Amino acid sequence: MLNSENLITALNNILSPEQINTKESDLYEASADRYKKYAKARKVLDVPSPVAIVYPYNSDEVSTILEFCNENQINVIPRGGNTATEGGLENWKDITVVIDTLYMNKIIKIDSYNSQATVQAGVSLEELEIELRKIGYTTGHSPQSKPVAKYGGLVSTRSIGQFSTLYGGIEDMVVGLECVFPDGHIAKIKNVSRRAGGPDIRHIVIGNEGTLCFITEVTIKIFRYYPENNKFYGYLVKDVDTGIKVLREVMVNGFRPSVARTYSEEDAAQHFYHFHENKCVLIFMAEGPKKIVEATGEAIEEAAEKYNEGIIKQVDSSLIEDWFNHLNWTQKDIDDEIEGMIENNSHSGFTTEISADWETIPLIYNNVIDRVRNEFPRAHDLTMLGGHSSHSYLNGTNMYFVYNYDIHCAPEDEMIIYHHPIQKIIVEETLKAGGSMCHHHGIGKYRSEWTKDEHGTAYYMLEKLKEAFDPNGIMNYGTIFPQAEGINKYIR
Ligand SMILES: Cc1cc2nc3c(=O)[nH]c(=O)nc-3n(C[C@H](O)[C@H](O)[C@H](O)COP(=O)(O)OP(=O)(O)OC[C@H]3O[C@@H](n4cnc5c(N)ncnc54)[C@H](O)[C@@H]3O)c2cc1C
């Protein structure tokens, strides 16, 4: 195996100087993602820094770098917008190269006639959205990290946006893509409206979290945009169960509002400070062509009427619109949050997102809240515990658990003392009830201890993919696929 010095020399033979970054502060920044944001900001990270960050311009360069790393058994971490939350960008190996899509930033084609656009992996969602809005189109994708997240990362994590109930998750949007495997092979999945040529191989790439291949190009669907027709609906409701029932009613009746959400009292208080009145909040947004918006709006009002015993009151729609207009986080918001944590020694807004069918979600929610309140040894440090359902489907929905706490321990111990025990309860209750422990943030490194439980007998298929595409295990060591050594060192 190469040492750091030899590795940098070898990289210089492959790339130009402006494509290799060995600045210490940037390497420290690259050694972990937002999972350990507090320890990182307090400069007490317990993981090694990568040896270099490299910035290829195109898929041929990615291929050369990967082939080299594969031959020399060097761990590789693909990186996009750097907004990962589950340790997918954290480094667990002494010799690691981060491959960043910074220079792969071209919008290749916007094809409004065929309703699709092709971008290099380093194009941010916001950049593409701005270009599309100029011609009356939208990506329909709007995760809260939209201003920062990039296409390679969005596809690689199976991300989902705030309007998913209408437009779907990224897996519903990807038409075709290009990716590079550790042996240097460049694979291009063509862009067609549908195919039945065997299993849908896009799904080997979507959600791989940089553990099987490096995504270099993505083609996604684009949609006509009708902001002038948007309608907003909001209600104060008696409990989470009522909110979930109304969401279900709208969905099973065949309607697709773009936003459909229910918040617990605690979570509502931090999102809707201007009207929550210490109650649960239910909100909807209808979007699209006028007639569809009208029909969807009527269906929302009928569903609320059906469960009117649990509805306390309807709120002014302009309050929901106002909330909607301030949804996304810029890089400045992300930085400010970390500064706030350091100043106050408190963690606000840690989340774990799971999914299950309609019947099961309220059970999981109630079991988790009970167990955290009664079993979590630091429950007295919690300043908020609640959640919301924000992405609904015909057969079920998600639950986004949110928890804030004051930190009374060494910064390097925060995650193991506070976050991990809560996350463990959430994952245990979800898997016990047959749900998925991971709705949209990816497994990263910190849910990898439960990957086998998540998939059960189907883990066989996942394991074989790893063996086939990454036999030397160079792609993002510790992410998705459990590695006992890393788990024992960095999690337990
Ligand atoms: C404030 C905030 C809000 C968020 N809101 C949402 C939300 O609403 N919905 C949601 O789904 N997520 C959300 N996230 C999580 C995160 O933004 C998403 O997971 C996003 O898809 C990550 O994209 P990125 O470009 O930042 O990827 P990165 O953080 O750079 O990487 C994420 C993972 O993808 C891999 N990866 C990156 N690029 C490539 C590539 N080219 N090829 C292969 N693998 C690659 C990395 O190795 C890593 O495992 C949020 C995060 C923050 C900080």
pLDDT in tens, 344-393: 777 767 899 999 999 999 999 999 999 999 999 999 999 999 999 999 99
The closest-lying atom of ligand 1 relative to the alpha carbon of residue 444 is: 49
pLDDT number for residue 343: 79
152 lines ligand 1 (CB under 6 A): yes
Tens of pLDDT, residue by residue over 244-253, are 999 999 999 9
Which atom of ligand 1 approaches the CA of 142 most closely? 8
- CATH level 2 (architecture), domain 228-325: 2-Layer Sandwich (3.30)
User: Is this prediction's pTM over 0.95?
Assistant: yes
Which residue's CA lies nearest to atom 28 of ligand 1? Answer: 82
Residue whose token pair is 């295990």: 473
Task: Output the six-digit token pair for 23.
Answer: 């600045």
CA 374 to ligand 1 center in whole angstroms:
33
Could you say which residues of the chain have pLDDT below 70?
A: 348
**Nearest atom, ligand 1, residue 162 CA:** 8
CATH for the stretch 1-225+458-491: 3.30.465.10
**Which pLDDT score, from 0 to 100, does residue 157 have?**
98
Give pLDDT, residue 191: 98
- How is domain 331-443 classified at the architecture level of CATH? 2-Layer Sandwich (3.30)
**Spatial CA neighbour of 125 closest among 111, 139, 112:** 139
Q: Strand locations in 293-358, DSSP E?
A: 311-315, 346-357
User: In angstroms, what is the span from residue 149 Cα to ligand 1's centroid?
Assistant: 6
211 CB under 6 A from ligand 1? Answer: no
- Distance (angstroms) between ligand 1 centre and the Cα of 456 equals 26
Residue 319 marked ligand-binding: no
Mutate to test the pocket of ligand 1, among 157, 212, 352, 436 (most ligand atoms within 8 A of CB): 157
Residue 32: partners with Cβ closer than 8 Å, 6 or more residues away: 39, 40, 45, 47, 87, 89, 90, 91
Given a contact cutoff of 8 angstroms between Cβ atoms, the answer to whether 235 and 345 are in contact is no
DSSP 173-216: HEEEEEEE-TTS-EEEE---S---SSS-THHHHTT-TTSS-EEE
**pLDDT recorded at residue 329:** 74
212 in a known ligand binding site: yes
How far apart are the CA of 37 and the centre of ligand 1, in A? 15
CB atoms within 10 A of CB 359: 12
Question: Can you tell me which atom of ligand 1 is nearest the CA of 476?
Answer: 47
State yes or no: 275 annotated in a binding site: no
Map out the domains of the chain as residue ranges: 1-225+458-491, 228-325, 331-443
Token reading at 418: 């506070």
Q: How far apart, in whole angstroms, are the C-alpha atoms of residue 442 and residue 351?
A: 12
| Tokens describing residue 21 | 């970054």
Pocket test for ligand 1, best of 144, 213, 448 (most atoms within 8 A of CB): 144
Report phi then psi at 55, rounded to 5: -125, 85
- Ligand 1 probe mutation, 34, 120, 145, most atoms within 8 A of CB: 145
Please indicate whether residue 396, judged by its CB atom, sits closer than 6 Å to ligand 1: no
Cα(444) to centroid(ligand 1), Å? 10
Mutate to test the pocket of ligand 1, among 37, 61, 98, 159 (most ligand atoms within 8 A of CB): 159
Nearest to residue 155, comparing CAs of 185, 189, 112? 189
Q: Could you identify the atom of ligand 1 that is nearest to the CA of residue 170?
A: 11
> Is 77 among the annotated ligand-binding positions?
no
Alpha-carbon span 50 to 28, nearest angstrom: 8
Contact status, residue 360 vs residue 435, Cβ threshold 8 Å: yes
Catalytic residue among 35, 55, 400, 403: 400
168-179 pLDDT, tens digit per residue, is 999 999 999 999
To the query of whether residue 400 is one of the catalytic residues in this protein, the response is: yes
DSSP structural state of residue 340: H
The number of the ligand 1 atom at minimal distance from the alpha carbon of 77 is: 47
pLDDT of residue 1: 78
- pLDDT digit string (tens) for 426-475? 999 999 999 999 999 999 999 999 999 999 999 999 999 999 999 999 99
329 lines ligand 1 (CB under 6 A): yes
Q: What is the pLDDT of residue 288?
A: 97
pLDDT of residue 323: 86
Q: Is 352 annotated as a binding residue?
A: no
Whether ligand 1 lies within 6 angstroms of the CB of 34 is answered as yes
Between the CA of 154 and the centroid of ligand 1 the distance, in Å, is 5
Instruction: Give CA–CA dist 206/174, Å, rounded.
Output: 9
Residue 159 beta carbon below 6 angstroms from any ligand 1 atom: yes
Residue with tokens 């009527």: 298
In this predicted structure, what is the pLDDT of residue 491? 85
- Measure Cα distances from 135 to 110, 111, 138, 223 in Å: 10, 11, 9, 11
